[in-house]
Chain A
């Protein structure tokens, strides 16, 4: 009986990769091989018979699969992707992510008129039938809670900044403050996912992964995308932050963020155990690589290549990370700037200092997570602690980058996943009040490469509840960030699940020209 072309005996067949045929065909074959293995395991002969009859001739001629798309041919280099699309202002970026949502009214969005409205009800027309979270939806009243802190003017621009941020206020002329960020989600997980990946649901690549994929590495010895988590302060209301946020989604796992631990060894098991020299380690890795290459040739799974690359990166990091984390050569002026906190690994100040050191060493994207901003029922109790931990470090990072000449081509971003309400969650007293989640407007800032310094962009209404002028949706914000790094958000595309996927998603996103230098 004549065999169906798809049913060749794999064990004894001639290896296609050895045939003198074009490499494109070989890649196509490997993609097919991979799929075959999977289906073979799943259904064996019966599956193949069904498959062959369903696909008919198309299956046999090989154009029923997606081998001709870039995705199936493995990752493309930035040069092949034709990136950057234009000369970028920023070569790298640092994202200070304030997980939990900082209250904009107490920090940036100055609303002096609210003081006169203390404990008055927020007009229903302002909320406009909005669905609230379960935490405040049942409240009988929505009493207005003015900020507990006074604001002062800072810098040449005379920007109003809360007394909580007296250090950040000093660099306000270098910041691009956006008062009108707005998002689609009212709860942490979808909102933080949207900020990071452009999609409410997990599974999409995050901003850092897109940058790593699109722009590639500047330093072969360090990961392109690094994540620093700040140690948890139990006095604060901490929402979980998971590695889904720095996942590479459908992109190769090479582009996922590499997390440094907040305590002890920055990377676990990075140091060789006693008795294992670097030579022995090298030999071992070479042998593992050979095995992996055989597996790849047999199965053609791109993830095997990603694994090889990650082993190699880990080996190089054995040398580069200790140098990166060695702060002994920092001059005294560093500690004067960042404060003594920065000597303690895992503190926010330490992470900001590390972010600067990574920027110097060519890490493309560093994301620092600071949890605990979910202040809910106790604003006056926890907000000063949070600001004490972060205010000086933010100031120090911007100042440090600026004095070292790095701010010209480094984009710094600060912000959370949404804002907080003007009305009090729970009881409102002269001493304390609460603030619930608020997606309709929140404040974030950018500084450095590509951003227009010394401006405040957008306006909110008198309650800091709705956007009055110049809204910046998350997808527009992400499009703007990509623009600063030389990327046209409509052109950085990866085909997955039959769609041309991009960070900004299917809805039209616009670069916010008013934010650009």
Chain B
């Protein structure tokens, strides 16, 4: 037993000794390095001290002079705006430094240049940081990206300074690894800072906007608002529901629960509780869950007593999520939404400018006016007869045939025109609106207007149009708005019971 103990103790002693010598060796080595590193001359000491003071000052500057988000002096902004220009100098120099160092292995002269370029890049970095700070402070910029970019710039400048100080030791082989590692870190900081700066000028998605879609999907960068294509089911039906019911609380202005629903990207991103839409899985989609609760439920959405979503709206949401929550799909299986027919695009008419003199003459003479719809000649003319309405008759209308192709609206209300004018009007090929209210027309022969491919509005109120004649109107396929108020075809409604005002309720 004793033997074993002694053996053990002996081994321990050996170990201690070994440790001591090794430790002593490390300490010695460190001391040696320190000896080599510590400034020997007054000048180097002064340089080191100055660098330390400078670095601390640079670090403290943004803390003392805070970016307060208010614009300041004009001269600051003026100078500051040279920052994006000046900033490229230190970037170029800093990239050049490691290249020169590497090339120096083969051509020593280049390594000497590296020292100079490094010094140059320090001066430029300092200038760029100063201008950048003037830009942010003078222009009143704030925000996370600005702050990150600013600290990146400060760190970079201090890093260059440290490299500059460390380089002589590396060059003289006194300390081997510090400088190369410092330089590598410096390049990483440079990349980071430059990227933040690029984000500031070009926007966050600038680099990835045109990334091939599969890569984008892989990187989970998908779902910017732009991805929702115009005319898609999302844009036409889903977005309006969210906009009308949710966005006042879940939007840019107020973002409750960290959730925004004002764009496709935001919708798919979700909020504090995670995703609210799980494509293809309505039952796991929080958004649907919350709108389908009992309105009395505390978690029910829309909150604050707003009206619940309509059943069809919930059906659309469900189907949309079930079928992949796509930002591009235009149709969903099983969902048919009746859409109001779109207004016909206005067909441009020919240029009537050459006839303006004649038109003016006519207005001065018989009194009927042809008024431009707008400044654009292709929008056509409006025939205005209100000043001479009681006397404006079929013959006068017929005399306007020359202008017929340019007339898009004929205001013949309360004039003396009769059924005979339908023949003339059939030649107004670009007519969109025809006013015959309060005239003597009975509608006989109105089918002659069937050739007017643009006619959408026909006003016959207050005329003697009969139900039989009104039936002919059905043959005019393009008509959207037909008015037969106060005619034999549509007798005026009898007195409708008017609601008395509730003096009090509740």
Spell out A's residues near B (CB within 8 Å): 79, 82-88, 112-113, 115, 148-150, 158, 163-164, 166-167, 218-221, 331-333, 336-337, 339, 360-362, 380, 384, 387-388, 391-392, 403-405, 408-409, 459, 462, 468-469, 486
Give the 8 A-B CB pairs with smallest separation, nearest first.
A333-B492, A405-B483, A166-B499, A336-B495, A150-B505, A163-B502, A405-B459, A469-B248
Distance in Å from the Cβ of B221 to the closest Cβ of chain A? 29
Cβ–Cβ contact A84 & B486, under 8 A:
no
The contact of A391 among B346, B386, B493, B501, by CB within 8 Å, is: B501
Q: How far is the CA of A380 from the CA of B495 in the complex (A)?
A: 30
Cβ–Cβ contact B374 & A405, under 8 A:
no
* 18 pairs, CB–CB < 8 Å, chain A vs chain B: A84-B375, A85-B375, A88-B373, A164-B501, A167-B498, A218-B386, A333-B492, A333-B493, A333-B494, A361-B386, A387-B501, A403-B461, A404-B437, A405-B461, A405-B483, A408-B433, A468-B249, A469-B248
The contact of B346 among A85, A87, A112, A459, by CB within 8 Å, is: A87
Q: Mark B447-472, 1 if CB is under 8 A from A, else 0.
A: 00000000001010110000000000
Note all chain A residues with C-beta closer than 8 A to B504.
Answer: 148-149, 380
Q: How far is the CA of A423 from the CA of B305 in the complex (A)?
A: 20
Q: How far is the CA of A211 from the CA of B386 in the complex (A)?
A: 19
Note all chain A residues with C-beta closer than 8 A to B486.
Answer: 331, 333, 404
Given A149-B502, A149-B506, A163-B505, does the pair A113, B459 have CB atoms closer than 8 Å?
no
Cβ–Cβ contact A462 & B304, under 8 A:
yes
Q: How far is the CA of A164 from the CA of B501 in the complex (A)?
A: 6
A-B contact count (CB 8 A): 114
Note all chain A residues with C-beta closer than 8 A to B384.
Answer: 218, 362
Distance in Å from the Cβ of B502 to the closest Cβ of chain A? 4
Q: Which residue of A lies closest to B506 (CB)?
A: A150
Note all chain A residues with C-beta closer than 8 A to B496.
Answer: 336-337
Cβ–Cβ contact A360 & B413, under 8 A:
yes
Distance in Å from the Cβ of B358 to the closest Cβ of chain A? 15
Q: How far is the CA of A403 from the CA of B461 in the complex (A)?
A: 8
Q: Does B220 contact A (CB under 8 A)?
A: no
Note all chain A residues with C-beta closer than 8 A to B503.
Answer: 384
Q: How far is the CA of A218 from the CA of B486 in the complex (A)?
A: 25
Cβ–Cβ contact A82 & B375, under 8 A:
yes
The contact of A88 among B374, B493, B499, B505, by CB within 8 Å, is: B374
The contact of A164 among B305, B387, B502, by CB within 8 Å, is: B502
Q: How far is the CA of A348 from the CA of B147 in the complex (A)?
A: 62
Contacts A113-B304, A404-B483 supplied; 8 other A-B pairs, CB < 8 Å = A88-B374, A219-B386, A331-B492, A333-B492, A360-B437, A404-B462, A462-B304, A468-B253
Q: Does B98 contact A (CB under 8 A)?
A: no
Q: How far is the CA of A84 from the CA of B372 in the complex (A)?
A: 8
Q: Which residue of A lies closest to B481 (CB)?
A: A408
Cβ–Cβ contact B372 & A166, under 8 A:
no
Cβ–Cβ contact A403 & B375, under 8 A:
no
Distance in Å from the Cβ of B307 to the closest Cβ of chain A? 8
Note all chain B residues with C-beta closer than 8 A to A404.
Answer: 437, 459, 461-462, 483, 485-486
Q: Does B280 contact A (CB under 8 A)?
A: no
Note all chain A residues with C-beta closer than 8 A to B499.
Answer: 166-167
Q: Does B247 contact A (CB under 8 A)?
A: yes
Q: Does B251 contact A (CB under 8 A)?
A: yes
Q: How far is the CA of A387 from the CA of B346 in the complex (A)?
A: 41
* Interface residue range, chain B: 35 or more
The contact of B494 among A84, A167, A336, by CB within 8 Å, is: A336
Q: How far is the CA of A82 from the CA of B462 in the complex (A)?
A: 35
The contact of A83 among B375, B386, B462, B502, by CB within 8 Å, is: B375
Distance in Å from the Cβ of A75 to the closest Cβ of chain B? 17
Distance in Å from the Cβ of A43 to the closest Cβ of chain B? 43
Q: Which residue of B lies closest to A113 (CB)?
A: B305
Cβ–Cβ contact A392 & B483, under 8 A:
no
Cβ–Cβ contact B481 & A86, under 8 A:
no
Cβ–Cβ contact A115 & B506, under 8 A:
yes
Q: How far is the CA of A87 from the CA of B505 in the complex (A)?
A: 47
Q: Which of B247, B492, B494 has the most CB of A within 10 A?
A: B492
Q: Does B254 contact A (CB under 8 A)?
A: yes
Q: Which residue of A lies closest to B435 (CB)?
A: A405
Cβ–Cβ contact A87 & B437, under 8 A:
no
Q: How far is the CA of A362 from the CA of B369 in the complex (A)?
A: 13
> Chain B at the A interface: mostly helix, strand, loop or mixed?
loop
> Chain A at the B interface: mostly helix, strand, loop or mixed?
loop
Note all chain B residues with C-beta closer than 8 A to A360.
Answer: 413-414, 437
Cβ–Cβ contact B437 & A405, under 8 A:
yes
Cβ–Cβ contact A87 & B373, under 8 A:
yes
Cβ–Cβ contact A87 & B376, under 8 A:
yes
Q: How far is the CA of A209 from the CA of B6 in the complex (A)?
A: 116
Q: How far is the CA of A404 from the CA of B462 in the complex (A)?
A: 8
Q: Which residue of A lies closest to B387 (CB)?
A: A220
Given A149-B506, A404-B485, A468-B254, does the pair A486, B248 have CB atoms closer than 8 Å?
no
Q: Which residue of A lies closest to B490 (CB)?
A: A403
Distance in Å from the Cβ of A508 to the closest Cβ of chain B? 19
Q: How far is the CA of A82 from the CA of B373 in the complex (A)?
A: 11
Cβ–Cβ contact A403 & B485, under 8 A:
yes
Q: Does B76 contact A (CB under 8 A)?
A: no
Q: Which residue of A lies closest to B408 (CB)?
A: A87
Q: How far is the CA of A219 from the CA of B371 in the complex (A)?
A: 12
Q: Does B444 contact A (CB under 8 A)?
A: no
Near A by CB (< 8 A), chain B positions 407-454 give 413-414, 433, 435, 437
Note all chain A residues with C-beta closer than 8 A to B251.
Answer: 469
Q: Does B379 contact A (CB under 8 A)?
A: yes
Q: How far is the CA of A362 from the CA of B384 in the complex (A)?
A: 9
Cβ–Cβ contact A339 & B498, under 8 A:
yes
Distance in Å from the Cβ of B487 to the closest Cβ of chain A? 11
Note all chain B residues with C-beta closer than 8 A to A333.
Answer: 486, 492-494
Note all chain A residues with C-beta closer than 8 A to B435.
Answer: 405
Cβ–Cβ contact B253 & A219, under 8 A:
no
Distance in Å from the Cβ of B192 to the closest Cβ of chain A? 38
Q: How far is the CA of A360 from the CA of B248 in the complex (A)?
A: 41
Note all chain B residues with C-beta closer than 8 A to A82.
Answer: 375
Note all chain B residues with C-beta closer than 8 A to A486.
Answer: 374
Note all chain A residues with C-beta closer than 8 A to B485.
Answer: 403-405
Q: How far is the CA of A87 from the CA of B371 in the complex (A)?
A: 12
The contact of A148 among B346, B371, B506, by CB within 8 Å, is: B506
Q: Which residue of A lies closest to B243 (CB)?
A: A469
Given A336-B496, A362-B384, does the pair A79, B372 have CB atoms closer than 8 Å?
yes
Note all chain A residues with C-beta closer than 8 A to B505.
Answer: 148-150, 163
Note all chain B residues with C-beta closer than 8 A to A384.
Answer: 501, 503
Note all chain B residues with C-beta closer than 8 A to A392.
Answer: 498
Q: Which residue of A lies closest to B382 (CB)?
A: A91
Distance in Å from the Cβ of A80 to the closest Cβ of chain B? 11
Q: Which residue of A lies closest to B372 (CB)?
A: A79
Q: How far is the CA of A392 from the CA of B461 in the complex (A)?
A: 22
Note all chain A residues with C-beta closer than 8 A to B374.
Answer: 83-88, 486
Note all chain A residues with C-beta closer than 8 A to B461.
Answer: 403-405
Q: How far is the CA of A188 from the CA of B175 in the complex (A)?
A: 81
Q: How far is the CA of A112 from the CA of B305 in the complex (A)?
A: 7
Q: Which residue of A lies closest to B304 (CB)?
A: A462
Q: How far is the CA of A404 from the CA of B505 in the complex (A)?
A: 35
Q: Which of B304, B435, B461, B501 has the most CB of A within 10 A?
A: B501
Distance in Å from the Cβ of A244 to the closest Cβ of chain B? 30
Distance in Å from the Cβ of A382 to the closest Cβ of chain B? 12
Cβ–Cβ contact A87 & B387, under 8 A:
no
Note all chain B residues with C-beta closer than 8 A to A391.
Answer: 501
Q: Which residue of A lies closest to B480 (CB)?
A: A408
Distance in Å from the Cβ of A152 to the closest Cβ of chain B? 9
Q: Which residue of B lies closest to A323 (CB)?
A: B390
Q: How far is the CA of A295 from the CA of B170 in the complex (A)?
A: 98
Cβ–Cβ contact B457 & A469, under 8 A:
no
Q: How far is the CA of A86 from the CA of B445 in the complex (A)?
A: 35
Note all chain B residues with C-beta closer than 8 A to A405.
Answer: 435, 437, 457, 459, 461, 481, 483, 485
Distance in Å from the Cβ of B38 to the closest Cβ of chain A? 61
Distance in Å from the Cβ of A109 to the closest Cβ of chain B? 13
Distance in Å from the Cβ of A469 to the closest Cβ of chain B? 4
